[in-house]
Structure 1
């Protein structure tokens, strides 16, 4: 499928019918923003539109080739009934917007712009990009998604398609991806070119829905071939890290070599007791939107603090449960050792439920050893 797409997709450009039909996957607000003079919302809507255009193109191209066995529904074609996010969910799900996601214990681990099955029964995926800024940490993301699908579907290779609306050929990350023969890099028309095809059409558009499309299936119908208990894999990694910290102490970067451990994206070590929060405030420091959080005021703003690290880099994170709003404040560490607010974690995401389930278990000693093990900077105060 990959060599065939590489050679044939170049000749398949989106036409006005495909571009107009793609707007059926967008809501009214997104459609209005497509031609907005306000650049930022326009670009966001454009990205959503182009992703839908690529999906519509694959609906057409999959009819022409036996190399594509199945194409997973998404957007407006996704099943109307979608499962609410809850703890313990593992595997493929549709989001409320019809996006295809893999969840681990309710947390979204990965989202796929397209999911396909090729004629050799390999599950493949595609990423759709409309801006060079989309390429930040792109290589690491693709490697994780390949690893994740490779594990779930017990396949040694996972084909990958990168479809862009601009020329990617000079970007080093794309050059590296292009060297892998299981990847296809496809450059189609620019968003400006596609817009020029549709700007004179009337607002009222008739959409062609793909009823009885011979290759369209639900993503959830692609059978997973291996057990997938993400919480178990997470807990195994967490316990191993605790064991290493208790043995040696000091800065470390534990290697995770087992296949299931490499699927874990973030380790949640636990909530920290009030005395541990005091040590965190006094030794490292917390600041939220320019305001320093002293321990004396901590309980005024927050109900608990949770310590975590991202993987594979072990970047340390503190999650603070807001007392005012139903959200967590994600705190990341700066080079001086201080923890500063990055963004909120809203209640609508599955990861929020996992954070809510965590209670204080960590005393001062283990909290400080965790901070020492993964801290990127010196302590603020001695």
Structure 2
């Protein structure tokens, strides 16, 4: 299973990205993104550069795959993905393409993970790759890689899921990468810097219309690598939900949270359900909601929000409150505040299609007592301290 990544580790540097490869990679970028490669707006330019670099690596791997039988297939992405894709919807489980050809793993329609590169070796085993252009991208990276290994390992019945980390900068000395490389099924591949690659083209080259799709003997599509075991993410989610409630309400209490069990560890977020009015009142009294400095009482919450959903992130068991606004099609994501209770962090809109649909499907199911037990059990949130005597 490790023969392919060992071969790539040895031979990747033998293929230098040529102008032909770099020009071919432009076919994966939309015209607007191609223009941004030389934009004076640095954030825009870096984003376009990142997508372009992913495409360059993909084209390099396609060329390298013809040099060895150890690479059985390369999973199509970008411009080689299908022209029409399935929009996210509840009940979707497995691998899907996004509207720009990214490879997504969905559970009940929600995007659980995205992989930049996917290969199949000569034994039929799956390998995935992540492609980065900056060491700043490494925050939470290690946990993400281990989660993707668990997820793909579960879907494809692989005890080991090899991983390729491809970078345009030397990140071999960073603590995260050093830890990852201690694992025998991980490999780091390095290319010339993006600036050096970009020096091989000129802005006028971007005006050409590159071919959209190519024929390649080793290209396969996502439907050709269907998961090898049944995958019902909603069922796994509900099993995890019930296990958390059982632990919190049992005599052993919160101590049971995180104890290994038979449920596959691939559920990262549990949606407990919507709060009944009694639970909203308890929430306000015990764990107040603050949005941009303003504390909302139960009447204000009921007036401005049509739904209050309680969730928790795993494995840190960090609770989250989602508030469905009445005047806009969006949810406000509320996270634990250092001062106690919950504070506003960000918005969740229909752009996050699968997860938004899941939130929309949630109905009230939690009363005050169970909501309090759950929140009291999660150490990431706490009750605000009582005002000192004499304070207003």
Q: State the TM bucket, normalised to the shorter chain.
A: over 0.9
Of 79-88 and 245-254, more deviation after overlay is shown by 245-254
TM superposition shift of 1:376: 2.0
Residue 268 (structure 1) aligns with? 271
User: Paired residue for 2:18?
Assistant: 15
Matched, 1:4 2:17: no
Structure 1 CA distance, aligned partners of 2:327 and 2:72?
51
Q: Partners in 1 of 2:203 and 2:306 — Cα distance?
A: 55
* Distance of 2:211 and 2:273 partners within structure 1: 50
Tell me, yes or no, if structure 1 residue 361 matches structure 2 residue 365. Answer: yes
The whole-number CA distance in structure 2 between the counterparts of 1:138 and 1:156 is 21
Matched pairs, number: 382
Distance 2:36 2:195 in 1: 14
Give the secondary structure class of the aligned counterpart of 1:143: helix
- 1:95 and 1:380, CA in 2 relative to 1: closer, same or farther beyond 3 A? same
286-295 or 223-232: bigger deviation: 286-295
Contact 1:284–1:337 (CA<8 Å) still a contact in 2? yes
Q: Find out whether 1:120 has 2:117 as its counterpart.
A: no
Deviation at 1:321, TM superposition (A): 0.8
Is the counterpart of residue 33 in structure 1 residue 36 in structure 2?
A: yes
Identify which of 36, 43, 47 aligns with 1:44: 47
Question: Which runs of 4 or more aligned residues in structure 1 lie more than 4 Å from their structure 2 counterparts after TM superposition?
Answer: 249-253
Residue 169 (structure 1) shift: 1.1
1:68-87 matches, within 5 Å, as 68-87=71-90
Whether the aligned pair in 1 keeps the contact of 2:147 and 2:266 (CA below 8 Å) is yes
Partner of 1:89: 92
Whole-angstrom distance in 2 between the partners of 1:164 and 1:259 = 36
CA distance in structure 2 between the aligned counterparts of 1:307 and 1:200, rounded to whole angstroms: 50
Say yes or no: does 1:247 pair with 2:250: yes
1:256-295 CA deviation, whole Å, 9 max, x = no partner?
5346430111111111111211221222221223333222
> Do the aligned residues in 1 keep the contact of 2:28 with 2:212 (CA within 8 Å)?
no
The residue number in structure 2 matching 1:324 is 327
1:380 matched residue in structure 2: 384
SS at match of 1:312: coil
Contact 1:253 1:374 in 2 (8 A): no
The answer to whether 1:166 aligns with 2:172 is no
**What is the Cα deviation at residue 89 of structure 1?**
0.7
Give deviations 1:67-119, integer Å, cap 9, x for gaps: 11000111111011211211111111111111111111111111110111011
Report if the CA contact (8 A) 2:247-2:254 is conserved.
no
- Number of the residue aligned with 2:390: none
Residue of structure 2 equivalent to 1:352: 356
5+ residue gaps in structure 1? none
**Within 1, Cα distance between the matches of 2:324 and 2:244?**
24
Alpha-carbon distance in structure 2 between the residues aligned to 1:381 and 1:279: 16
Deviates more, 1:290-299 or 1:74-83: 290-299
Residue by residue over 1:134-187, the C-alpha shift from the partner in whole angstroms, topping out at 9 and shown as x without a partner, is: 111111111111111111111121110000110011101100111112111011
Matched, 1:202 2:205: yes
Aligned residue for 1:174, secondary structure, equals: helix
Where 1:198 maps in the other structure, the secondary structure is coil
Out of 312, 321, 328, the position equivalent to 1:309 is 312
Q: How does 1:218-233 map to 2 (within 5 A)?
A: 218-233=221-236
Say which of 102, 106, 111 aligns to 1:103. 106
CA distance in 1, matches of 2:73, 2:131: 19
Taking the aligned partners of 1:372 and 1:227, their CA distance within structure 2 comes to 35
Question: Does the 8 A contact of 1:337 with 1:375 survive in 2?
Answer: no
SS where residue 206 of structure 2 aligns?
coil
TM-score, L = length of structure 1? 0.95
Deviates further, 286-295 or 354-363: 286-295
Give the superposition deviation at 1:121: 1.2
Going from structure 1 to structure 2, the CA distance change for 1:31 and 1:116 (only over 3 Å counts) comes to: same
